[in-house]
Amino acid sequence: MHTFFKTTAAVFIALWFLSCSSNQEETKTKLDEGERIATVNDYEISALRFEDSYIDHLLKTGANDTRNERYGQLESLIQDLLLAEKADDYQLLDDEYDQYVDQARRMALSNYWYQTAFLDTLSVPTDDQVRAAFFNTKVQLYPRQLYFKDKAQADEYYERLESGEDFVDLANELYQTTEYDSLAGSMGEISYFGVDHDFAEAAFALRAGEYSKPVRTRLGYYIIKVDNRVTQPIITEDEYKVKRSGMLQKTKQRIMNVKGDEFVRNFMESLDVQINADHIAEVYESLMELSSSLEGEVSGENVITQKGSVTRSDVTFMKENTDETNILASYSLNGETQYFTAEDYFFWLPQLSFAEARNRTMASVGRALRNEVFAQLGEEAGLGDSEYVQFKMEQAAQAYKTWAVKRYLSEQPVGDISEEQLETAFYAMGYNKFKSASFTGWVITRDTFEEIEQVKQQIESGTAPSGFENYFEYQNEDLRNLYSVQQYAVKVPLKQISIVNTNDKFYAMYAENRTISRYTFSEVRDQVEEKVAKYYNIVEQLKELQANADIQIDTTAFEALMEHFNDPSLTGRRR
């Protein structure tokens, strides 16, 4: 479910960009926000404003896309806007606010320059391209892969294949199997739109028995060999016509990703980037001193979760422990040598993946450098005054104001809270869900969906799960000790392998057994009161604001927007 909604959100975003590509000059100044679906006092909520917030909500929570979820997000957006209005009254806007909005502005400049320089140059896929994609969805492909982190090793193994060495022998050597495994490197069946874009294009171009040259992807380099290729015998024109609209959008997305990666690689290579490995190593050392976890709540319980991104307190720590003037890289732009410093990297760091920053610091610095250069070019192109950039700045300002008001109110003294309010909160906050729970089963973790899906397929084909790296077995384990995946441990079906996703990690979970006992209100009343106190002032403030607000929802426009979301040509074929 998580994977589907991430894919759906990506398609929504891609469609928005692609829909703007018909007139490049016009997109630099105008932004079509769609119909007005609601007003909150003097503030209008456009279709685009809601879509952005809703997609972000789905990605962060993994929630199912339902009618109730959509209306719930609209209500949440209205409440956030009401709270944001109080930021000036409480005098909460400081230098941190200015920096937050500036980060949003520069990220918008970076994204918008990329749009005008690359996305606006894309043409609509031809019918031949769409037909080829449709045909590939009918192919059952069974590949093997050799994975490498660097090109030199990939080239070495490719030369050995060309010299006549066996693919399976090399896979056993590369993956250092303890015993010879005839399935080494096997991925099971893959689907055309279910794996990395560059990987798919290379794999589906191969006949059975053929292997590829090293293929560069976002994850590294692959040599792919196809063991078997089975094509559905009957492909009708009628079926193609029915599915063409959705297939067109998926093909657009595929082309955008493949060509986009190539555009960025070529552009960055043209900058003649020279890195300072010693200074980047210092940044890495500071990153390794940061905690990789955050305190959070699941069902009213405090839990430890893995960080998805660097926090502002992390950045402060790094600034205090690293020389911000250190040059991490130099590059040539517009005929001049320019420098990317630790201070520049720290500016972009909150926008980047925490896992990548710690595990692939060089790649993280490269991503920040790309953002910096794209933003600079966007500024030079006069995109700072565009409606798109202004829209993103306004979004960021509203988000910060809402967060600041919530933080301020949660720190203020709280009045008496009635027993009725506490008991209502007991159910609403999920304290009745479980008192204690134990889990018997196992968990395997990987960085990408493609990797964990491959693990699942191999286990279902007979490979013992205990033989995989990052395998963890639990016997009547307290559920709270499962940290990031505990919320799924109580939900996944028993005695079958499920794939779940949280904080940039993917997990294969198998629940052999679990036991759950539930709390009563009297047992946890004091804890409920403590939790409610954090939000009591916020709720009371919202009651006051809503009672005095002029809120209008255009139900017709909102329902029309929901029909737009339901259009199969946008969401593609559900798996």
Query: How high is the pLDDT of residue 440?
Result: 94
Question: If you average pLDDT over every residue of the chain, what do you get?
Answer: 85
Residue 71 maps to a domain? no
Model pLDDT, residue 565: 62
Residues 298 and 251 in one domain: no
- The reply to whether 175 and 133 lie within a common domain is yes
Domain termination residue (choose one: 517, 545, 564): 517
pLDDT recorded at residue 429: 79
Query: Which pLDDT score, from 0 to 100, does residue 478 have?
Result: 86
* CA atoms of 50 and 133, how far apart (whole Å): 32
State residue 25's pLDDT score.
Answer: 36
- Antiparallel, parallel or unpaired: β 436-446 and 336-341: unpaired
Domain boundary among the residues 260, 287, 310 is at 260
Assign residue 242 the CATH number of its domain. 3.10.50.40
Residues pairing with 43 in the sheet: 40
Question: CA-to-CA distance for 295 and 281, rounded, in angstroms?
Answer: 28
Whole-number pLDDT of residue 234: 67
pLDDT at 305: 64
Looking at the structure, tell me whether residues 252 and 303 fall in a common domain: no
**pTM for the model:** 0.67
pLDDT confidence of residue 65: 81
Last residue within a domain, chosen from 329, 362, 395: 362
pLDDT mean values, one per 10 residues, the chain (575 residues): 34 35 39 85 91 82 82 94 95 93 95 88 85 88 92 95 95 93 90 88 93 90 93 77 84 84 89 95 94 60 66 90 95 94 95 89 94 95 93 94 94 89 85 80 90 91 92 89 82 91 84 86 88 89 95 90 60 34
Q: What does residue 235 show for φ and ψ, rounded to 5 degrees?
A: -125, 115
Q: For residue 305, what are the β-bridge partners? A: 294
- What does the pLDDT read at residue 3? 33
| Residues 497 and 464 grouped into a single domain | yes
CA distance 253 to 129: 12
Full residue range of the structural domain in which residue 457 is found: 434-517
Does any domain span residue 22?
A: no
Structurally, how many domains does the chain consist of?
3
The whole-angstrom separation of Cα 201 and Cα 413 is 60
- Cα 37 from chain centroid (whole Å): 27
Give dist(CA 109, CA 126) in Å, integer.
31
Do residue 190 and residue 296 come from a single domain? Answer: no
pLDDT value, residue 236:
80
